[in-house]
Structure formats: structure tokens, C-alpha cells
């Protein structure tokens, strides 16, 4: 990732969930790689521009300056939203690269989910640690502005990591940081309605119900959907794999009963249905619901089956009306936006 940029550390703050959401947006849009081109949001379309975008730095950095916005950490301290950076100071154009860490794939920590800007376009894939080439030269860093999972200047935060801690960490009587981590990941996948408060470190019936809803969303039944996370449940949550909580008995946001009436919330079709170039019935249904809710002022005509900037701006207005900001109000509906619109 070439280019020149300022080196002063940023004061902007951002959550890990927002970092991954911003990265996923480029993945969904398949943003083409270019060292000299820029995306619609103003960020350069190379590897370091991608990290600058994901961390919401507000400026385009390069592999020689990104570390100025971060603190160095060890492999054992890596958490989703951190970066793995190789800057070849002797010859920056020879091998320099950076990836966004998305979570461990296996308990042995030999592979991780990497979000990266590479040819031909942005990808999210399982990658050997630390990378396919020049592996020994990559260094782990944490953005100083991360609000959760490690305080600024304290790379030791996130003591629980992302490797599966074992089933004994969960269930009646459990009280530890892994339970909190589980709850937070479940909420990101649409389980917010199960928590009247929290999530917190003490295992509760809310944790069990939320976990079971996620397991059912994957099509698992019986002992595979008992509400206690196993390695597969944990891996899907950490890496963002599988399906968000959707339609079906006991499911969370995007399905089931809305409120106390008999209105049924239609199943959330997935984020991929609402992207530039998409045309489907879900887009039209979303637009019609926005109009009914009073958030249709950006439609000059329509709504229609084709996703447009008018749809995005109306969704953003609805999200902001919920009190959401930043990546939570980017105009692209997720499971919770969908649930609130149709509930």
C-alpha cells in the first residue's frame, strides 16, 4: 500500500464491530484494487488505504505510517479489528502489505480470517498466520482508538482472545469474560432482543436463548442447538461465518413476533440483498416499509426493486432515528435495522 500521509496518531475512536462492518462493506462491494485509485468514500483502493478506511482514520495512510496510529501487540493478544503489517523499509514496493485480523479459524492459531485489499478486489478469507509470503516479517498492531477489547495504550487488553475456551466456560454457574465476549458477538449477529441488560460475565438464560437462536439459524437441531456454544458455534461467531439469527422458532432479530401483536417480521434476507447493483423483491419491500414508517423523503420516485442511493439515504435516516451513529448508521440494513423496521 503506497502513498504518503501524515504520521500523527489519530484521536478518533471506533468499536471492533464497527471496524469489521466497515471492512465487510468493501468486501461486499468487491472494491477493485488500485494504488492510485480512490473509492467513493475517499479512501485509496490499496491495502493501506483499506486499513485507513476500516479504522476510520479520515486520511489515507501507507504501510510506513500506519504503525503511528497503533500500539504493537503480540500474536496471543490479537483480536478482531487489529492489523498484521509488513513494511519493507529498505524497499517499500517489494512485499509491503497489511491485513485486517478478523479472528482465529482454529484453536491452534495457525490460520485466521483476513480482510484485505488485494488484486483483483477486496476479500475476506482464511489465511495462514501471518501471511502467504514473508510471514515471519509481519507485526501485529492494535489501533489506539479502539474503544473495546483493549484500552488505548494498553495492548494487554482482550485477555480472553478469540480461541474457543471450551464448553466449561459456559452454562449455569459460569462467570467469566468469555461469557461477555459470547454475548457481544451474539448481539452483533441479531440476538439483541434476548438481553434486557448486558451482556455480562455471569451466564444467564438470556445467553442460552441467544446461543440457541444462533444455532437454530445455522439449521442445527437437537444436541447441536442446546444453547451451549461448542467449537463450531464459537468459530462462526468469531469469524462472522454462517447465518445471522433469522426466521424460525426461537430466532432473534429479523424474525418471529414483533412486539406483542400478531405481526410477523419477515426473515432478514442477508446484507448482500442491499448493495449497489442489486435488484430484488427485498429491496422493494424495504423501501415500501420505509415509506410507511415516514422515512421515504429521499425517493424522487419509487421505491423499486433496484437498490439506489435513495434507498441508502432513507435507511440511514431511519438508523439515525434509532440513535445509531458511525458504521451503525451507514445506510445498509442489517438484522436489527430490518427487525425494527418491520416489528
Q: How far apart are CA 305 and CA 126, in angstroms?
A: 34
Same domain, yes or no: 23 and 137:
yes
Is residue 70, in this structure, part of any structural domain at all? yes
Q: Is 126 helix (H, G, I), strand (E, B) or coil?
A: strand
Q: Is 189 helix (H, G, I), strand (E, B) or coil?
A: helix
Is residue 5, in this structure, part of any structural domain at all? no
Domain edge (last residue) among 143, 178, 195:
143
Once rounded to an integer, what is the mean pLDDT over residues 226-248? 79
Domain edge (last residue) among 239, 259, 287:
239
Q: How far apart are CA 1 and CA 61, in angstroms?
A: 8
Query: With pLDDT > 70 as the criterion, what percentage of the chain qualifies?
Result: 87
User: pLDDT: is 244 or 241 the higher one?
Assistant: 244
Is residue 82, in this structure, part of any structural domain at all? yes
CATH number, position 334: 1.10.101
Query: Given this model, what pLDDT does residue 42 score?
Result: 92
Domain edge (last residue) among 239, 263, 285:
239
Once rounded to an integer, what is the mean pLDDT over residues 319-339? 84
Same domain, yes or no: 277 and 218:
no
Beta strand segments in the chain, E:
70-72, 83-86, 97-104, 111-116, 123-128, 139-143
User: pLDDT: is 219 or 130 the higher one?
Assistant: 130
Residue 11: pLDDT band with limits 50, 70, 90: low
pLDDT at 249 over 70: no
Same domain, yes or no: 72 and 119:
yes
Query: Given this model, what pLDDT does residue 3 score?
Result: 47
Residue 264: pLDDT band with limits 50, 70, 90: low
Once rounded to an integer, what is the mean pLDDT over residues 157-164? 51
Same domain, yes or no: 136 and 23:
yes
CATH number, position 201: 1.10.101.10
Is residue 2, in this structure, part of any structural domain at all? no
Same domain, yes or no: 120 and 180:
no
Is residue 217, in this structure, part of any structural domain at all? yes
Q: Which tens digits make up the pLDDT trace of 52-86?
A: 999 999 999 999 999 999 999 999 889 999 999 99
Query: Given this model, what pLDDT does residue 192 score?
Result: 85
Is residue 133, in this structure, part of any structural domain at all? yes
Q: Name the domain count of the chain.
A: 3
Is residue 78, in this structure, part of any structural domain at all? yes
CATH number, position 128: 3.90.1720.10
Q: Which residues pair with 264 in a beta bridge?
A: 257
Look at 56-60, 114-118, 235-239, 261-265 and tell me which has the smallest mean pLDDT: 261-265
Same domain, yes or no: 177 and 102:
no
Residue 201: is it exposed, middle or buried by C-beta count within 10 angstroms (0-12/13-18/19+)?
middle
Query: Given this model, what pLDDT does residue 255 score?
Result: 31
User: pLDDT: is 5 or 178 the higher one?
Assistant: 178
Query: Given this model, what pLDDT does residue 254 score?
Result: 31
User: pLDDT: is 142 or 218 the higher one?
Assistant: 142
Greatest alpha-carbon span in the chain: 66
Which structural domain, as residue segments, surrounds residue 331?
Answer: 271-342
pTM above 0.75, yes or no: no
DSSP string, 3-70: -----SPP---B-HHHHHHHHHHHHHHTPBP-SS-B-TTS-BSSHHHHHHHHTT-SS---TTTGGGGE
Same domain, yes or no: 127 and 64:
yes
Same domain, yes or no: 96 and 137:
yes
Residue 245: pLDDT band with limits 50, 70, 90: confident
Q: Is 1 helix (H, G, I), strand (E, B) or coil?
A: coil
Contacts 24+ apart (CB under 8 A), 161-168: 161/76, 161/77, 161/78, 161/79, 161/104, 162/78, 162/79, 162/80, 162/103, 162/104, 162/238, 163/104, 163/107, 163/109, 164/107, 164/229, 164/230, 164/231, 164/234, 164/235, 167/228, 167/229, 167/230
Give the closest residue to 58 by CA, choosing from 24, 9, 103, 121: 9
pLDDT at 47 over 90: yes
Same domain, yes or no: 188 and 297:
no
Q: How far apart are CA 174 and CA 172, in angstroms?
A: 6
Find where cell 471492512 sits.
23
Residue 328: pLDDT band with limits 50, 70, 90: confident
Same domain, yes or no: 25 and 123:
yes
Q: How far apart are CA 258 and CA 236, in angstroms?
A: 26
Is residue 253, in this structure, part of any structural domain at all? no
Same domain, yes or no: 131 and 21:
yes
Q: Which tens digits make up the pLDDT trace of 193-202?
A: 898 887 888 9
Give the closest residue to 53 by CA, choosing from 75, 72, 73, 27: 27
Name residues whose C-beta falls within 8 Å of residue 260's C-beta, 6 or more positions apart in sequence.
none
DSSP structure class, residue 188: I
Once rounded to an integer, what is the mean pLDDT over residues 88-116? 90
Q: Is 339 helix (H, G, I), strand (E, B) or coil?
A: helix
Same domain, yes or no: 106 and 48:
yes
Q: Which tens digits make up the pLDDT trace of 174-195?
A: 998 889 889 988 988 888 889 8
For the chain, count helices (H), then strands (E): 8, 6
Amino acid at each position: 500500500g503506497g502513498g504518503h500521509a501524515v504520521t500523527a496518531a489519530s484521536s478518533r475512536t471506533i468499536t471492533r464491530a464497527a471496524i469489521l462492518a466497515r471492512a465487510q462493506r468493501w468486501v461486499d462491494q468487491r472494491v477493485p484494487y488500485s494504488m492510485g485509485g480512490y473509492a467513493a468514500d475517499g479512501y485509496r483502493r490499496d491495502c493501506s488505504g483499506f486499513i485507513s478506511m476500516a479504522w476510520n482514520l479520515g486520511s489515507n495512510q501507507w504501510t510506513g505510517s500506519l504503525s503511528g496510529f497503533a500500539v504493537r501487540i503480540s500474536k496471543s493478544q490479537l483480536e478482531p479489528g487489529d492489523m498484521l503489517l509488513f513494511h519493507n523499509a529498505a524497499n517499500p514496493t517489494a512485499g509491503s502489505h497489511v491485513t485486517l485480523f478478523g479472528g482465529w479459524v482454529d484453536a491452534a492459531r495457525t490460520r485466521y480470517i483476513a480482510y484485505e485489499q488485494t488484486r483483483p478486489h477486496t476479500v475476506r478469507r482464511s489465511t495462514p498466520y501471518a501471511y502467504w509470503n514473508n510471514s515471519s516479517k509481519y507485526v501485529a498492531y492494535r489501533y489506539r482508538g479502539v474503544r473495546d477489547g483493549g484500552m488505548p495504550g494498553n495492548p494487554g487488553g482482550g485477555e480472553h482472545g478469540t480461541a474457543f475456551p471450551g464448553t466449561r466456560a459456559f452454562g449455569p454457574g459460569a462467570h467469566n469474560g468469555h461469557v461477555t465476549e459470547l454475548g457481544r458477538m451474539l448481539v452483533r449477529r441479531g440476538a439483541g432482543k434476548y438481553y434486557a441488560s448486558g451482556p455480562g460475565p455471569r451466564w444467564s438464560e438470556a445467553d442460552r436463548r441467544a446461543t440457541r437462536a444462533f444455532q437454530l439459524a445455522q439449521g442445527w437441531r437437537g444436541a447441536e442447538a442446546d444453547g451451549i456454544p461448542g467449537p463450531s458455534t464459537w468459530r462462526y461467531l468469531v469469524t462472522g461465518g454462517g447465518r445471522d439469527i433469522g426466521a424460525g422458532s426461537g430466532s432473534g432479530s429479523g424474525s418471529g413476533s414483533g412486539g406483542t401483536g400478531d405481526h410477523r417480521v419477515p426473515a432478514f434476507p442477508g446484507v448482500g440483498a442491499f448493495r449497489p447493483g442489486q435488484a430484488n423483491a427485498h429491496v422493494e419491500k424495504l423501501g415500501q416499509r420505509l415509506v410507511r414508517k415516514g422515512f421515504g423523503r429521499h425517493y424522487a420516485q419509487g421505491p423499486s426493486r433496484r437498490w439506489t442511493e435513495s434507498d441508502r439515504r432513507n435507511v440511514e435516516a431511519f438508523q439515525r432515528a434509532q440513535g445509531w451513529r458511525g458504521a451503525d448508521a451507514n445506510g445498509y440494513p442489517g438484522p436489527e435495522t430490518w427487525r425494527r423496521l418491520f416489528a
